[in-house]
Amino acid sequence: MNDSSSTISTVLTWILVAAVVLVVVTILIRAIRIVPQSDSVIVERLGKYHRTLFGGPHLIVPFIDRARTRVDLREQVVSFPPQQVITEDNLSVAVDTVVYFRVTDPRAATYEIANYLGAVEQLTITTLRNVVGSLNLEEALVSRDVINGKLSAVLDEATGQWGIKVSRVELKAIDPPVTLQDAMEKQMRAERDRRAAILQAEGQKQSQVLVAEGARQAAILQAEGEKQAQVLRAQGESQAIETVFGAIHAGNPDEKLLAYQYLQTLPKIAEGEASKLWIIPSELTEALKGISGGFAGRIPGLGDVTPPRP
């Protein structure tokens, strides 16, 4: 009987020890909180905000402290569905937006707003309609940077009290009505055709100018070449005549030989295209008289001479 009682006591002891160990392990597990680097955890003590846990291990009081919310601290990218916006010139366009933001104050994002993501979406839609509604279609299509800047400034100011920082807002697309898109496409096609025609005309004009310039340069070069050739020929003929005259005068010829040489040189002088003026020495007239007398059978100083018969 004593053995049975001892066995039961031992079993109860081990059960009690196991229960205590289980309670201790449970308390330790609930007391240790490991938070990822990219997140933060809001801790409430007895239903009231106590502190914010950031990346790393933390100890909390089990059953008194409670981890209420896990908040992502990374930059988030949210794409909202296209919104129909009326421009200043009463045209309906579909605007597709993308918002980049991150939570800077997890406490404010948890307690100041019930659903900050939905609040950012609604605020973006409202601000987008105000900004785009003050522009006509053409301004809206070419002023995306201006619209992005205005949206970012308004959203950042409005969401600051929620612990949210809006870094930038991008317009993915601004789609006009289909009928207006067709008209714009026709206008763009006509503009491209006009530019192509202008470029073609400019090309033809440049081509004609280049051809004319080439012909002018060729004519100038040809005229310069002919001019240089004539000058060189004239210089060559002049030098040849001077050489002949120098050789004749160096040999001290008599009047008959001198006249004969002059007569042979004159045709060569006349052949040059550059020869415009002939200089005839005074001795040539006397020599011509002697030659003419010789052909007539009389040579001055010798009397009548009868040419020999062949």
> What would the DSSP string read from start to end of 97-109?
EEEEEEES-HHHH
SS3 (DSSP) at 7: helix
The per-residue pLDDT for 207 is 84
Please say whether the beta carbons of 86 and 92 come within 8 A.
Answer: yes
Residues of the chain below pLDDT 50: 294-310
CATH superfamily, with its number, for domain 76-176: Band 7 domain (3.30.479.30)
The per-residue pLDDT for 103 is 92
Domain ranges of the chain: 2-71, 76-176, 253-310
Q: Which residues, 6 or more positions from 272, have their beta carbon under 8 angstroms from its beta carbon? A: 233, 234, 237
pTM for the full model? 0.52
83: left (phi over 0), alpha (psi -120 to 50) or beta: beta
Radius of gyration of the chain (CA): 58
Helical (H) or strand (E) element with 161: none
Please say whether the beta carbons of 32 and 57 come within 8 A.
Answer: yes
Nearest in space to 96 (alpha carbons), one of 59, 147, 51, 138: 147
SS3 (DSSP) at 303: strand
The per-residue pLDDT for 106 is 92
Q: Among all chains, which residue has been given the structure tokens 């129909």? A: 84
Q: How far apart are CA 250 and CA 282, in angstroms?
A: 18
The per-residue pLDDT for 297 is 46
The per-residue pLDDT for 194 is 83
pLDDT tens, position by position, 57-114 = 888 888 888 888 889 999 999 888 888 888 888 888 888 889 999 999 999 998 988 8
How distant, in Å, are the alpha carbons of 103, 119, 156 from that of 108? 9, 14, 15
